Amino acid sequence: MDDRTPRPYASSDEDFEMVPDANGTSNTKDTLTLTAAAELSHVAPACARATMACNITAAASEGKRRPDVDVVVVMDRSGSMEAERKLELCKETTELLIEQLRPSDRFGLVSFDHRVKTNTALVSASSDVARAVKSLRPGGTTNLSGGLFAGLGLLSAAPAAERIRAVLLLTDGLANAGITEEQPLIAATKSLLDGTSTGLYTFGYGSDHNASLLQSIAGAAGDGKGSYYFIETAEKVVGAFADCLGGLLSVAAQNVVVEVKASAGRIARVRREGATRVDDRTWTVPLGDVFEEEQRDVLVEVELLGSASVEVSFALRYVDAANGRVSHATATASVAVDAAKAQTAVPDNHVTEQRARLDTADALLSARECADRRDIAGARRVLESQKAKIAALKVAAVTGSLVERLAHDLAVVLEGLANEDAYRARGRQWMTSKMMGHQMQRCMEDSDSDEEETMPRLMGSVGRARNVYRNTSKKSSKAAMMRGMSARRPSAPQPTSRAPASFTLLGLVV
């Protein structure tokens, strides 16, 4: 296979379901490619552990027809949504979202205050469903659980063959009707999601919502199946919805699973949410959906237990979203114990970078726990320490984009820890969204297409701290929705992204 696409690691076996051309060579690019590497090829005898990793990279669509999508919007219409035209802005944005769907896509709408109403069942996206959105009016308190369960029910009641399915839940407040406690709410949500392919995306509007609860609700769908967005101000509504929709319209693979096996020693830890131990040398890692151009990295820490060498194999299995076929790939990485060679072994830059990503996500979680205990100073110490470690990384000059983003996000969150008021207003929400984004390697914010030009330069680099998880589809989706908003309201802000003036929507054949 002649594939010159740069890859982080070396691959041992990446050919699967290839279609040969007349000359007997492949003209089909793999939807996902799998590579693997050890952080260090050789370690000293005194070293008890070694780290191996695999990388999964999704290709761009290259004109493939995307699968149909089912989208259910669950919208808070409680009384607080009347303030600052929040409900009106969310209605306008939902109408713009509908305009980006094609006739074979389906849309459903559920709204809630203390009552829950199915405003439209899951039907073909059309002007009729847009009228249902326009009819929403603000009401009473917030039965978040009732609205969520009704939205999930709309999808479970409709056929789902080969469709991308998602619920988008938006609220500006705390759950104060229905199930209000986090543990039973998450348990019920997981039960409703069990056995489905449904994604769950939550949007917290303003400073009064429970960011941790919305993160947990989105996380109930599993890795790669959900996101939490913090909508701090009115102008962020369109960008957040567009970012989410752009992902849904660019799903490359579903039901992605990696099986990890070690030839010797013991797998001590797999650094990925949802990873499950089978035995001492075998783990499975579900990764859910992967969007076009996204990457997934799985870091495996192995205890050597006196072994002279250890090989870790990674077996990838997924459903190709474009054709519904099950595809496979394998790759291996190994480490050997050798005192002399260990002295000159050079760390793999990509593995080091991914370790920094995971350490940053862990630091954000620890800092949030400190701040929730009203230990703002302790939270700042945790993040300042991690920021210093990021600044000291030697890989920054080589693979700077992610490292710079980590430094940028730590700086942003530290601004939200200026004091307790700042933490309650935005710090906790920023921390939660950025932590989840780095854990999943997915963009979960309205970013870059508008703000890239104004982002500060970090760490002395000439580059800017762009969101490295944001794919072309997300950028194009925002550009299209911003143009739609401008057409509705000439005073609306214009997109400043470098998306082409004319393009096939999201780079797909529709």
Report the distance separating Cα 74 and Cα 368, nearest Å.
28
Co-location of 86 and 222 in the same domain: yes
pLDDT per residue as tens digits for the range 473-483: 888 887 777 77
Residue 77, both tokens: 């219409």
What's the total number of domains in the chain? Answer: 3
Q: What is the pLDDT of residue 37?
A: 96
Report the distance separating Cα 18 and Cα 28, nearest Å.
6
Where does a domain end: 312, 329, 346?
346
Between 302 and 400, whose confidence is greater? 302
Report the distance separating Cα 468 and Cα 450, nearest Å.
15
In this predicted structure, the answer to whether residue 14 has a pLDDT above a threshold of 70 is no
pLDDT per residue as tens digits for the range 37-51: 999 999 999 988 999
In this predicted structure, the answer to whether residue 92 has a pLDDT above a threshold of 90 is no
Report the distance separating Cα 80 and Cα 141, nearest Å.
8
Question: What b/e readout covers 350-360, taking b as 16+ CB neighbours within 10 angstroms?
Answer: bbbbbbbbebb
Q: What is the pLDDT of residue 409?
A: 92
Q: For residues 475 and 497, is the Cβ–Cβ distance under 8 A?
A: yes
* Cβ within 8 Å of residue 502, ≥6 positions away: none
pLDDT band at 9 (very low <50, low <70, confident <90, very high): low
Q: What is the pLDDT of residue 206?
A: 79
3-state secondary structure of 201: strand
Name 107's bridge partners: 71, 123
Q: For residues 165 and 121, is the Cβ–Cβ distance under 8 A?
A: no
Co-location of 144 and 269 in the same domain: no
Co-location of 373 and 412 in the same domain: yes
CATH of the domain at 242: 3.40.50.410
CATH of the domain at 280: 2.60.40.740
Where does a domain end: 329, 346, 363?
346
Q: Percentage of the chain surpassing pLDDT 90?
A: 40
Residue 352, both tokens: 């080091």
Co-location of 272 and 231 in the same domain: no
Q: Percentage of the chain surpassing pLDDT 70?
A: 84
* Cβ within 8 Å of residue 460, ≥6 positions away: none
Residue 491, both tokens: 């005073």
Q: What is the pLDDT of residue 91?
A: 81
In this predicted structure, the answer to whether residue 118 has a pLDDT above a threshold of 50 is yes
Report the distance separating Cα 100 and Cα 228, nearest Å.
21
Determine how many CB atoms are found less than 10 A away from the CB of residue 108: 26
The overall average pLDDT reported for the chain is: 81
pLDDT band at 471 (very low <50, low <70, confident <90, very high): confident
> What is the spatial order of strands in the sheet that 326-337 belongs to?
42-43, 326-337, 309-320, 251-262, 282-291, 276-279
> What is the spatial order of strands in the sheet that 68-76 belongs to?
116-124, 106-112, 68-76, 163-171, 199-205, 226-231
Interval 148-171 mean pLDDT: 86
Co-location of 225 and 84 in the same domain: yes
18 part of a folded domain = no
Q: What is the pLDDT of residue 503?
A: 26
Q: What is the pLDDT of residue 330?
A: 96
Report the distance separating Cα 442 and Cα 328, nearest Å.
23
Closest CA to 153 of 184, 116, 126: 116
Query: How many CA atoms does the CB half-sphere of 62 hold within 13 Å?
Result: 9
361 part of a folded domain = yes
208 part of a folded domain = yes
Q: What are phi and psi of 223, to 5 degrees?
A: -55, 135
* Cβ within 8 Å of residue 37, ≥6 positions away: 8, 9, 10, 52, 53, 55, 333, 348, 350, 351
Alpha-carbon torsion angle 263, 268, 270, 274, nearest 10: 120
132 part of a folded domain = yes
3-state secondary structure of 165: strand
Q: What is the pLDDT of residue 264?
A: 95
Residue 295, both tokens: 């990457």
407 part of a folded domain = yes
Co-location of 433 and 480 in the same domain: no
Closest CA to 481 of 240, 301, 298, 296: 240
In this predicted structure, the answer to whether residue 194 has a pLDDT above a threshold of 80 is yes
Residue 301, both tokens: 């820490």
Q: What is the pLDDT of residue 383?
A: 96
Co-location of 99 and 208 in the same domain: yes
Q: What is the pLDDT of residue 417?
A: 94
Report the distance separating Cα 413 and Cα 434, nearest Å.
9
Report the distance separating Cα 129 and Cα 134, nearest Å.
9
Co-location of 188 and 229 in the same domain: yes
Between 83 and 201, whose confidence is greater? 201
**Alpha-carbon separation of residue 100 from 118, 281, 484 (angstroms):** 22, 46, 10
Q: For residues 326 and 296, is the Cβ–Cβ distance under 8 A?
A: no
Q: For residues 178 and 87, is the Cβ–Cβ distance under 8 A?
A: no
In this predicted structure, the answer to whether residue 114 has a pLDDT above a threshold of 90 is no
Co-location of 286 and 392 in the same domain: no
Co-location of 302 and 391 in the same domain: no
7 part of a folded domain = no
Name 13's bridge partners: 330
| Placement of tokens 């990925």 in the chain | 272
Interval 452-463 mean pLDDT: 39
**Amino acid present at 320:** D
Interval 175-193 mean pLDDT: 85
Name the pTM for this structure: 0.84
306 part of a folded domain = yes
Name 52's bridge partners: 38, 300
Q: What is the pLDDT of residue 25?
A: 37
pLDDT band at 494 (very low <50, low <70, confident <90, very high): very low
Co-location of 109 and 235 in the same domain: yes
Full residue range of the structural domain in which residue 295 is found: 32-64+252-346
228 part of a folded domain = yes
Co-location of 54 and 74 in the same domain: no
* Cβ within 8 Å of residue 284, ≥6 positions away: 257, 258, 259, 260, 275, 276, 278
